[in-house]
Amino acid sequence: MADKRLIPLNFSRLFLAWIAIFLTAPAAARTAEDEQLWVNLTVIGNVGKFAYFAEVQPRIGDGVSRAQQILVRPAIGYRFSNRITAYGGYAHVFLPIENGPDRNEERFFGQFNWAFPKVAGGSGLLRTRIEHRRLSHGDDTGWRLRQMIRYTKPLGDPKHVRALVQVEGFLALNDTDWGARGGFDQLRSLVGVEVPLFGRSTMDFGYQNQLINDPGGRKRMNHMAAFTFWIRP
């Protein structure tokens, strides 16, 4: 019988391999690029077997000149073990549009976190998230699958700075009248460090690359300074 602990890892490898095949295909048009700043403030913790998190994310784009998204995302969950936690939550995304009416996105999501054993002296996390998406300028419901792999390794003293690598692939599961197209949606890749703050709280800082597959074969690539503050009461 196959080891059930390998299922999340094998799924992640297949998912990211599929994305890698897509990325090797020739681009149909020139890729548009932008410089951005993303900040994420997340409060995360647990009470016994129950878990929770709440995050606020302002995303500044267009050459770091204006807010392009403001995201608020709370969730509650249940810890099945020290390695596996399931969450259910809701996200509201405010999308200010320059020279046009603002838009809003409502998301309900389910999420599983798998913390895997030590690998090469570091620790890792697999996060699988399925999203139910509705936008204010359309009538359809979009479904999207997200798979993230995160790996950290101490640089010297385990209580100090850690090297951080994180990759997340997005797969749209259907077409919608507001622009989603089934298939590869985007890929985010982060390289940086995890820095201790106070107590168990930490901060991630690094460079993140975001490759977006827009309708019509157009592609966008965003280069961003990314800060994430993990507040653990």
What is the C-alpha end-to-end distance of the chain, expressed in Å?
Answer: 41
Judged by average pLDDT, the poorest of 83-97, 100-114, 181-195, 213-227 is 213-227
* pLDDT reading at 215 higher than 90: no
Cross-strand pairs, 71:
57, 93
Mean residue pLDDT of the chain comes to 89
* pLDDT reading at 221 higher than 70: yes
User: According to the model, what pLDDT value does residue 218 have?
Assistant: 82
User: According to the model, what pLDDT value does residue 14 have?
Assistant: 52
pLDDT tier at 31, thresholds 50, 70, 90:
confident
CB environment 95-132: b (16+ within 10 A), e (fewer): beeeeeeeeebebebebbbbebeeeeeebbebbbbebe
Cα–Cα distance list, 20 to 15, 108, 196 (Å): 9, 28, 33
Dihedral angle over CA of 95, 22, 145, 169, nearest 10: -70
CATH class as words, domain 4-22+31-231: mainly beta
Task: Compute the average pLDDT of residues 16-27.
Answer: 51
pLDDT tier at 25, thresholds 50, 70, 90:
very low
The DSSP bridge pattern shows strands 142-154 and 122-135 to be: antiparallel
Please tell me the distance from the alpha carbon of residue 137 to that of residue 135, in angstroms, as a whole number. Answer: 6
User: According to the model, what pLDDT value does residue 115 have?
Assistant: 96
Count of residues in the chain? 233
User: According to the model, what pLDDT value does residue 5 have?
Assistant: 47
Global pTM value:
0.85
* pLDDT reading at 2 higher than 70: no
- Look up residue 55 and give its two tokens: 């995050």
pLDDT tier at 189, thresholds 50, 70, 90:
very high
The CB density around residue 135, as the number of other CB atoms within 10 Å, is 21
User: According to the model, what pLDDT value does residue 17 have?
Assistant: 56
Q: Which residues contact 130 (CB under 8 A, 6 or more apart)?
A: 109, 110, 111, 143, 144, 145, 146
Tell me, what amino acid is at 199?
Answer: G
* pLDDT reading at 155 higher than 70: yes
User: According to the model, what pLDDT value does residue 4 have?
Assistant: 44
The DSSP bridge pattern shows strands 219-231 and 32-47 to be: parallel
